[in-house]
């Protein structure tokens, strides 16, 4: 991690927020965590906020430099795949609290609310289970899997809300 | 709240993160919440990150427009005082999670770590107590006060760490 990433103060809140810098970095991580998007093209095509390709490229590079993502080097002509690192996986509780706050205090859409609602209802036990799942798929850990997975449950709720709205 | 503040998507995480936009808005709120700084001059002079006065002025204005702060109109020659609104007070759990994450995954300084550590150890019960305290001093609520207050405990820990380092 380069000199440029020394935080402006030793406050842990500042140090955390500096990593996200602007909101796009956090949204890219959100899409990898909740949307299971591992490739540049999926991240761009699926972006609810319409991220521009130059911003996406810049933020992916920055997140790799910061140690939040790893990029699998691939053979020429193959797409590079991104994986979450352990620090990025541990952002799940931060996402859950941000989602809970957004649900209460900001305009949100029904289909996109359901995942935040489920995360809130599930609380820390569900966040842990989801982090273990992410460790299996991104870090190759061997902890036992449960079925349906947290991701499957979140997606089922999202699809149900989309179809009924 | 103006048109300009319609979020780019209905995702609650995005909607939350858009409010902070850049990190300065969140840091200004942090200093009001944890530092009890209510005036422009205190916010600027006390800023660990060295916020510039034009940025501070812009973010205070924006946070008032977004409904996260209120500004007491004062007589000519008097300083304006800022108060947190209920949505801003409910950011305490977000700050706690960001602080916990920063403690673990980013370089931080000892004196500035202690508050995040106490918030983490205290968990949701302490966050609630702190939010009630903020409601008393910022919203004028009449819930019963405890002594020492959470803020007093956080400050005592900070001073102890500062003096011993």
Outline where DSSP puts E strands in chain B: 69-72, 81-84
The pLDDT confidence band at residue A3, using thresholds 50, 70 and 90, is very low
Specify the pLDDT at position A69. Answer: 97
Q: Which residues of B touch A33 (CB under 8 A)?
A: none
CA distances for B51 relative to A82, A104, B23, B31, B114, angstroms: 34, 29, 11, 11, 22
For B107-149, the pLDDT digits (tens) are: 888 888 898 999 999 999 999 999 999 999 999 988 888 888 9
| A58: contact with B, CB 8 A cutoff | no
Mutate to test the interface with B, among A2, A7, A9, A13 (most CBs of B within 10 A): A13
d(CA B78, nearest CA chain A) in Å: 31
For A5-46, the pLDDT digits (tens) are: 677 888 888 888 887 767 899 999 999 999 999 999 999 999
- Model-level pTM? 0.89
The pLDDT confidence band at residue A4, using thresholds 50, 70 and 90, is very low
Distance of CA B157 to the CA centre of its chain: 18
Is a pLDDT exceeding 60 seen at residue B1? no
CA gap B50, B24 in Å, rounded: 10
> Which of B9, B13, B96 comes nearest A116 by C-beta?
B13
CA gap A26, B148 in Å, rounded: 37
Residue (of B7, B17, B5, B20) closest to A99 by Cα position = B17
CA gap B119, B97 in Å, rounded: 9
Is a pLDDT exceeding 90 seen at residue A64? yes
| A123: contact with B, CB 8 A cutoff | no
Query: Where, residue-wise, is CATH 1.10.10.10 in chain B?
Result: 3-84
Give the number of other Cβ atoms within 10 Å of residue A133's Cβ.
Answer: 20
| A105: contact with B, CB 8 A cutoff | yes
What DSSP designation does B77 have? T
For B151-163, the pLDDT digits (tens) are: 888 888 888 887 7
Contact A87 B105 (CB under 8 A): yes
| A78: contact with B, CB 8 A cutoff | no
Q: Which residues of B touch A158 (CB under 8 A)?
A: none
Pairing of strands B81-84, B69-72: antiparallel
d(CA A76, nearest CA chain B) in Å: 33
Specify the pLDDT at position A145. Answer: 80
> Which of A8, A96, A112 comes nearest B50 by C-beta?
A8
Task: Spell out the CATH class of B3-84.
Answer: mainly alpha
Q: Which residues of A touch B16 (CB under 8 A)?
A: 98-99, 101-102, 105-106
d(CA B86, nearest CA chain A) in Å: 9
Contact A109 B11 (CB under 8 A): yes
The pLDDT confidence band at residue A165, using thresholds 50, 70 and 90, is low
Complex ipTM: 0.87
CA gap B37, B82 in Å, rounded: 8
The pLDDT confidence band at residue A2, using thresholds 50, 70 and 90, is very low
Outline where DSSP puts E strands in A24-152: 69-72, 81-84
CA gap A164, A91 in Å, rounded: 31
d(CA B26, nearest CA chain A) in Å: 8
Report the alpha-carbon angle A58-A84-B27, nearest 5.
65
Q: Which residues of B touch A28 (CB under 8 A)?
A: none
d(CA A30, nearest CA chain B) in Å: 8
Q: What region does B77 belong to: left with phi over 0, alpha with psi -120 to 50, or beta? A: left
> Which of A9, A48, A97 comes nearest B11 by C-beta?
A48
């Amino acid at each position: 991690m380069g000199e440029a990433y020394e935080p402006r103060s030793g406050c842990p809140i500042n140090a955390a927020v500096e990593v996200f810098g602007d909101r796009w970095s956090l949204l890219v991580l959100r899409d990898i965590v909740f949307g299971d998007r591992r490739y540049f093209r999926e991240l761009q095509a699926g972006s609810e906020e319409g991220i521009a390709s130059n911003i996406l490229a810049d933020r992916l590079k920055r997140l790799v430099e910061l140690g939040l993502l790893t990029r699998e080097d691939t053979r020429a002509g193959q797409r590079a795949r991104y994986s979450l690192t352990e620090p990025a996986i541990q952002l799940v509780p931060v996402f859950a609290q941000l989602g809970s706050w957004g649900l209460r205090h900001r305009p949100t859409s029904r289909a996109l609310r359901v995942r935040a609602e489920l995360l809130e209802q599930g609380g820390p036990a569900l966040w842990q289970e989801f982090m273990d799942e992410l460790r299996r798929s991104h870090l190759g850990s061997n902890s036992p899997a449960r079925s349906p997975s947290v991701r499957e449950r979140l997606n089922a709720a999202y699809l149900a809300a989309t179809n009924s709205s």
